[in-house]
Amino acid sequence: MDAMGRTTPPTLTGLTTYLLSRTGKAARGALAARLARRGLRLWHMAVLAALADFGPHAQRELSTRLGIDPSDVVKVVDELAAPGYVERSRDPADRRRVRVALTPSGRAALAELNDAAQEVGGAVLAPLDAREQATLHALLSRVYAGIEESSTP
Amino acid sequence: MDAMGRTTPPTLTGLTTYLLSRTGKAARGALAARLARRGLRLWHMAVLAALADFGPHAQRELSTRLGIDPSDVVKVVDELAAPGYVERSRDPADRRRVRVALTPSGRAALAELNDAAQEVGGAVLAPLDAREQATLHALLSRVYAGIEESSTP
DNA sequence: TCCCATCATGGGTGCGCACCCATCATTTGT
DNA sequence: ACAAATGATGGGTGCGCACCCATGATGGGA
């Protein structure tokens, strides 16, 4: 009797925005679940990645780079400093600024998080073969670039 | 001086999950903004679409089809019934069930929402040409299918 | 030197979303 | 006929995220 099944309405699946939103949420959720094991959230990983890729930042720089509210940066950095993943130090040149730097332990943690993320990616993208995953990544990169550009004019 | 710019850390952009999560959130946000103009949220559109595509549902059916908590279905339907987009009626065969049906006004509203969604899609996917948008859609469809399947065993 | 801009910090708000539980009406199975 | 299962409803919770404002410390320009 459940002939109409559990199928998602075609009106929705026909919308690329809908698919993006859904798959994105799934990806986000899976990733967040992995991070939660270590008591971290997505922003924590983003901050660690920024520090690893670009070296130490003042908190304000983290804010503009990642698009987080400066006020929230404080809290995220707090939570990263507690387990010793990052270190705060005052910038001697400009003593208002707090320089945030990655510790070795933070770098190691990031590596693990990255592995976890790769795993999650593998699971989510399982229906696609390697070639297709690559094209998906390429297309998404361009869409992402477009978004970044339009949000930071 | 801001030589390191506002670039997103490559460690993140290298992760397809991250790109999915971000672009998905952007898509979701843009869509939600459009719906908000009419005082609706994403679930409202999903329910309207389900009714349009598959005809009237009992609320429980909406719950299982869309993966919303039964308790939340009640509230969403409440909000759709207020402007007269849907109508509730007791199923005469099983008087526990409440049959939810789309009204003409609801169908019209859905059409408008659908147009809005297409617009949003066009904006988000602007960096891609038509052919690329099509392949992106196809790839995402398969990923989405994989997700649905693994979440409903 | 003084005023204003900048930065970090802490505290608080509101929204959306996912969940859970208790209750009541009704149907189904025994 | 009665107990158990099902469906709808209302009320409440917690989390993540995005914001906003006030305060105190510091730096830089008039």
| pLDDT at position B4 | 56
Residue pair A65/B7 in contact (Cβ under 8 Å)? The answer is yes
| Inter-chain Cβ pairs, chain A and chain B, closer than 8 A | 212
| Rounded Cα–Cα distance for residues B128 and B125 (Å) | 6
Residue B48 domain-assigned (yes or no) = yes
Are A20 and B22 inside 8 Å of each other by CB?
Answer: no
Residue B38 domain-assigned (yes or no) = yes
Residue B142 domain-assigned (yes or no) = no
Confidence of residue B5 (pLDDT cuts 50, 70, 90): low
Residue B92 domain-assigned (yes or no) = yes
| pLDDT at position B106 | 97
The backbone region for B39, taken as left when phi is positive above 0, alpha when psi lies in -120 to 50, beta otherwise, is left
Q: Which of A25, A121, A143 sits opposite B127 (nearest CB)?
A: A143
- Position of tokens 């993966």? B67
B24 touches strand D (CB under 7 A): no
| pLDDT at position A9 | 96
Domain count, chain A: 1
A76 touches strand C (CB under 7 A): no
| pLDDT at position B150 | 83
Nearest nt to the CA of A66 via C1' is D18
| Closest listed residue to residue A45, CA positions, set B17, B3, B2 | B17
Residue B130 domain-assigned (yes or no) = no
CATH number at residue B43: 1.10.10.10
Provide the percentage of residues in chain A whose pLDDT is more than 70. 95
Which domain covers residue A84, as residue numbers? 23-117
Encode pLDDT of B74-122 as tens digits.
999 999 999 999 999 999 999 999 999 999 999 999 999 999 999 999 9
Longest dimension (CA), chain A: 73
Q: Token digits for B24?
A: 């998905």
Residue B53 domain-assigned (yes or no) = yes
Encode pLDDT of A50-95 as tens digits.
999 999 999 999 999 999 999 999 999 999 999 999 999 999 999 9
User: Which of B100, B119, B140 is the best residue to mutate to test the A interface, defined by the most A CB atoms within 10 Å of its own CB?
Assistant: B140
